[in-house]
Amino acid sequence: MVQILVDNNIIEAENGANLLQTCLENGIYIPNLCYLNDSQEPFAACRLCFVEIDGHPVAACTQKVSEGLQVQTDTSAVRSLQKTAFRLLLSVHEIKCKECSANKRCDLQRIAKFLKVGLKPKGLEIRLKDPGLDSGHPYLIVDQNRCVLCGKCVQVCLQKHGHSYLTFAKRGFDTVISGYIEPDDIPLTFSGCTLCIDICPVMAISLKEGIKS
Amino acid sequence: MDVILTSEDKVIIEKLGSRLTQCEKVKTNLIPILQMIQEELKYLPPEVIKMVAKYLEIPGSEVYGVATFYNQFKFNPPGKNPIKVCLGTACHVRAGDIILENFERKLGISEGQTTEDREFSIERVACVGCCALAPVAIMGDTVHGHMAPSKVEGLILRVQVEHEKAERERQKIESDRQ
Ligand code: FES
Ligand code: FES
């Protein structure tokens, strides 16, 4: 066990433990979207989990805990990085909370409240994908304008099946989570596994109609 | 955006299928295999993605994800008259995007796509090295400088007229023969 200092709180943790997870488990909230608990190789894609260590910004999910580590989670530099990353995410997100199945259980709403930013990113151009609903996958529908590209679905699928049946496709603003057609003689059928649906922080993935879980 | 395979495409794909068996069945071969296929076929239709996935025993999504990441891989067949619109800095400043939009509207396809008759395809490129002529478009091997919407129309019309002319000549030769 080692001791670290987070915003003047002394926290005890296993040497080498993940900093983000340690903070969260000790009741110190750091915004995050893409970290999977106990992940050995954090994906570090959302850039929301910034903290300050020795005056430098560090993505907390990529930092290991060691004796005497001093971390600040609430400096103005950190908040401004987080707000920018978050506003950029919102600029490609369709805000329809009232009609959204994730309403009130959505990580974006939680983070917006925490960072005290509105859900409409002022001053940024909104870029939505057309069409937003992607039914290319044999049994899943992905709402591309809801998806925040955290990649958790891809990671859990990979962990569970050794292969991921969902993938990042394309690049830049065009990046989407996609499931591609399988060879005709090895069709991909629904096995009852809904890990990707359950892990999604914004409920962007759902089963196609007629497919029962 | 469904690509319809031509009979030539099908023949090539079949041949590629047997060539595939000579490649070692390892995941690290994915990109070289895709490159080999594209060299022959000039693009990667869904049939090919499935074929490669099956051969390497990985999900189709994985093949698709890798292939779509790289600019070098195309998912639509090249047109007989490939159009490249420059959106490099100089051309961007001289409103190259309007030229692109004009081509897209005129041909009814978006950048990266091919018309159904495979006559035209549109691609956007970065600086092609003749910024003084901005905005620039390239059709086939010919560079067209100082592009303007009216020129877009003219270029496409010219190809279509030439086409009709060739068609008429062909018909004439045929009827002469009879
Ligand atoms: S949680 Fe650290 S970058 Fe997403
Ligand atoms: S920017 Fe178009 S030719 Fe240089």
Interval A118-123 mean pLDDT: 88
Residues with Cβ within 8 Å of B34's Cβ and at least 6 positions away in sequence, in order, are B44, B52, B63, B66, B67, B73
Residue with tokens 């004439």: B172
Do B59 and B97 fall into the same domain?
no
Architecture category of domain A1-126 in CATH: Roll (3.10)
Please state which CATH number belongs to domain A133-207.
Answer: 3.30.70.20
Do B166 and B85 fall into the same domain?
yes
Share of chain A above pLDDT 90, in %: 79
CB contact under 8 Å between B50 and A167, yes or no, is no
Does residue B93 lie within any of the structural domains? yes
Where chain B has pLDDT below 50, the residues are 1
What are the tens digits of pLDDT across the range B29-64?
999 999 999 999 999 999 999 999 999 999 888 999
The pTM (predicted TM-score) of the whole model is 0.83
Domain boundary among B29, B49, B69: B69
Do B54 and B22 fall into the same domain?
yes
Domain boundary among B24, B46, B69: B69
**Reported confidence tier of residue A213, pLDDT bands at 50, 70, 90:** low
Does residue B154 lie within any of the structural domains? yes
Interval A26-35 mean pLDDT: 96
Mean pLDDT score across all residues of chain A: 93
CB contact under 8 Å between B62 and A181, yes or no, is no
Do B123 and B147 fall into the same domain?
yes
Interval A95-101 mean pLDDT: 92
Residue B126's CATH number:
3.40.30.10
Q: What pLDDT, on the 0 to 100 scale, is given for residue B163?
A: 87
Q: What pLDDT, on the 0 to 100 scale, is given for residue A140?
A: 92
Long-range contacts of B55-58 (CB under 8 A, 24+ apart): B55/B20, B55/B21, B55/B23, B55/B25, B56/B25, B56/B26, B56/B27, B56/B29, B56/B30, B57/B25, B58/A163, B58/B27, B58/B30
Q: What pLDDT, on the 0 to 100 scale, is given for residue B66?
A: 94
Does residue B101 lie within any of the structural domains? yes
CB contact under 8 Å between A168 and B65, yes or no, is yes
**Reported confidence tier of residue A148, pLDDT bands at 50, 70, 90:** very high
Domain boundary among B44, B69, B94: B69
Interval A30-42 mean pLDDT: 93
What are the tens digits of pLDDT across the range A79-95?
999 999 999 999 999 99
Q: What pLDDT, on the 0 to 100 scale, is given for residue A182?
A: 76
What are the tens digits of pLDDT across the range B62-75?
999 999 999 899 99
Q: Where in chain A is the domain with CATH 3.10.20.740?
A: 1-126
Mutation target vs A (from B61, B68, B74, B110; most A CBs, 10 A cutoff): B61
Which residues of chain B have a Cβ shorter than 8 Å from any chain A Cβ? 46, 49-51, 53-54, 58-65, 68-69
**ipTM beyond cut 0.95:** no
Worst-scoring range by mean pLDDT, A71-85, A199-213, B73-87?
A: A199-213
Domain count, chain B: 2
Sheet architecture: strand order including B120-125: B120-125, B81-86, B137-139, B142-144
User: A78: part of which helix (H) or strand (E)?
Assistant: helix A76-90
Domain hosting B63: range is: 7-69
Does residue B74 lie within any of the structural domains? no
Q: Where in chain A is the domain with CATH 3.30.70.20?
A: 133-207
> Which chain B residues are closer than 8 Å to A171 by Cβ?
68-69
Interval A48-54 mean pLDDT: 97
Instruction: Say if residues A59 and A69 touch (Cβ distance below 8 Å).
Output: no
Interval A108-137 mean pLDDT: 91
